[in-house]
Amino acid sequence: MRTLLLCGMAAAVAFSTPTLAQQELVINSFGGSYEKLHRKLVITPFEKKYNVKVKVVTAYSSATLAQLRAQRTNPQYDVAHFSGGLEAVAAKEKLLGPIKPSELTNYKDMYPFAVAGIEQGRGPVYSVAVIGLLYNTKSVKKPPTSWQDLKRPDLRGRILITDAASNTYGMLGMLMMNRAAGGTMDNIGPGLAFVKGLLPHATLISKSPEIQQNFAQGNAWIAAYAQDYAFTLTKAGLPVKFIVPKEGAAFAPITINLVAGRKNRDLAVKFIDFSIRAEASRGWAIGLRYSPTNKAAKLPADVASQVVYGPAAVKKLVAFDALKIGKERPKWNEAWKRAIAK
Amino acid sequence: MSSRSEPFWLLLPGLLVLILAFFWPVGELLVTSFFTAPQAGAPPAGTRASAGLANYAKFFADSYYLGVAERTFRLSAITTFFTFLLGFPLAYIMARAGPRLRFWLIVLTVVPLMTSVVVRTFGWLVILGRGGLLSKVLEWTGLSASPIGLMHTETGIVVAMVQVLLPFMALTIMGVIAGIDPKVEEAARTMGAGFFGVMRTVIVPLSLPGIVAGSLLTFALSISSFITPTLVGGVRLPMMAGGIFSHITGSLDWNFAAAMSMLLLLATLAVIVPYAMLLKRRGA
């Protein structure tokens, strides 16, 4: 009996050793419809092509950055996806590792702005989100043309504001409202006053599925959010359109970054290279209307009209200095929380 | 092994786990709370740059954070009160019921505890949301003209919290009431006390230790509650635990988050420790 037990234990130990296991890559993704498409375009094909296992942790950028800081001495991610310029903060803190252009086979196909910082640890931009205004075309008779239109009396009670403290898109929306109200990155007072004025007539949300929920329930007719999300809502059957207000729309690059200090760097770089290939770039545009950053991605005409296509169009977007965002964010978060608290 | 050192060796594994998993991390947190980063958000978070009570001063000097603390304690007190109102009758019925009924009542009370609190809270999101079950009932009965919900309101937070914490209150009180000899109640009845008279003069005084224990447990769980107040209350009604989380992941000001955590721990201890000392004095 005892020998049987010992044999059983030995067998259990033998089978649990990693010699038979596949190589594993740990990444973060953003959940919901984004993660679904992420798996379809990149994660699952990558797993098949290289016969590895990719472990996906659903975490927005701020939470991922917090985790990387906590795990500085023993990072648990191999690749980190960031939006809202947080990669600049992470790279400055040496949480991300540099990549040489020669290590990426798709390097030559990328727009220069998309690969500008890879040698300093700021990973390539693999898609661009545009933050502007989404509105329900059936309920809003007069289409909005400006950020100031959020103040329109006919839209009262139907406005959605995204929390700037926990959501980078919300932060960029707040910065655009600030810009339209006359503020700057050093003084977000006008932006906060603008938002405070909207609050009695608005619902505050923090996660993207809440936007869909509110639009579907008829609770919201207009929101400051991303162009790609307008497409998600139309796919769900809602009559939603995205517009670039006359003061501009925010440029929100989404980057894929190499985490420093991990053992499987080679596999991680392969994953990054796989993520920026033309096929993926095209897939993001067709699937969710993210704007492509790979020159070789050819889009059908109807898709091209719903994204920002080409370097000239990208130049028209308002870009906020990522390092400045990183520096000011804690102050902005404090001020924001005070402005929205009841 | 002498019989005098035996208890020590038996306690050792549990003690080690407690030290490694609780006292050490909390100690680290305590130390972190006394430092401030050279500049907010600068790496690495939790850095030991300048020592002092700056974080605590910041908390108490700021009406925003005092408001967060006030909301936390106020809603927790209200939650504890309503949990008691619902839990006491439930506990009495469970204690005095026949074996079969008691069994099913206990199962009904305990089963929610086995479900993740996240799942239970999402259930509330569906019921309390605009267009949800509560909204439909209010509209149907004519109490409300348009779809209305309790989401993102303090009332909603209390409702959800009461449901989540009810098992703790009910089971604690039930245990005590079950220990009260039914003959004592019968004796009071024969002396002429009505049902509520018996409650007031016999059951409540005798079950007071259980009521206090249940209330303290509910209060302590309520003030440190994170998921339910955050999901139901939303970002405009911040409470302590949500605020700590926001500072760790949003502002990345871990020193301040550590200070807030310490204050929350102190508040919990301030509630539990006097009770424990009182019990010891009574020789319980």
Residue among A63, A72, A326 minimizing CB distance to B249? A63
Answer whether B236 sits within 8 Å of A203, measured CB to CB. Answer: no
Chain B residues closer than 8 Å to A260 by CB: none
Q: Min CA distance, A169 vs chain B (Å)?
A: 13
- Amino acid identity, residue A267? L
Residue among A63, A203, A334 minimizing CB distance to B251? A334
Answer whether A206 sits within 8 Å of B235, measured CB to CB. Answer: yes
What phi, psi does A56 have (nearest 5°)? -105, 125
Q: Report which secondary-structure segment, H or E, holds B118.
A: helix B117-128
Please check whether residue A135 is in contact with residue A221, taking contact to mean a CB–CB distance below 8 angstroms: yes
In the numeric block, which tokens belong to residue A302?
């109807």
What phi, psi does B67 have (nearest 5°)? -65, -40
List the domain boundaries for chain A.
20-128+252-315, 130-251+322-340
Q: Which CATH architecture has domain A130-251+322-340?
A: 3-Layer(aba) Sandwich (3.40)
pLDDT digits (tens, 9 = 90+) for B71-88: 999 999 999 999 999 999
Q: What average pLDDT score do residues A142-162 get? A: 92
Q: What average pLDDT score do residues A303-312 get? A: 79
Alpha carbon distance, N-terminus to C-terminus of chain A: 68
Q: What is the mean pLDDT of chain A?
A: 89
Answer whether A166 sits within 8 Å of B236, measured CB to CB. Answer: no
Q: Which CATH architecture has domain A20-128+252-315?
A: 3-Layer(aba) Sandwich (3.40)
Q: How far apart are CA A159 and CA A300, in angstroms?
A: 33
Answer whether B237 sits within 8 Å of A342, measured CB to CB. Answer: yes
Least confident piece of the model among A165-174, A289-298, A304-313: A304-313
β-pairing verdict for A222-226 and A159-162:
parallel
State yes or no: pLDDT of A312 exceeds 90: no
pLDDT digits (tens, 9 = 90+) for A179-207: 999 999 999 999 999 999 999 989 898 88
Chain A residues closer than 8 Å to B64 by CB: 337-338, 341
Answer whether B43 sits within 8 Å of A330, measured CB to CB. Answer: no
Chain B residues whose C-beta is within 8 A of a chain A C-beta are: 39-41, 43-45, 64, 67-68, 129-131, 147, 152, 234-238, 246, 248-253
In chain B, the domains with their CATH numbers are 53-282 (1.10.3720.10)
Q: What percent of chain B has pLDDT over 90?
A: 49
Answer whether A337 sits within 8 Å of B67, measured CB to CB. Answer: no
Question: Are both A20-128+252-315 and A130-251+322-340 of the same fold?
Answer: yes
Residue among B43, B147, B238 minimizing CB distance to A69? B43
Taken in order B118, B120, B123, B124, is the CA torsion positive or negative? negative
pLDDT of residue A342: 81
Chain A residues closer than 8 Å to B38 by CB: none
In the numeric block, which tokens belong to residue A179?
């810009």
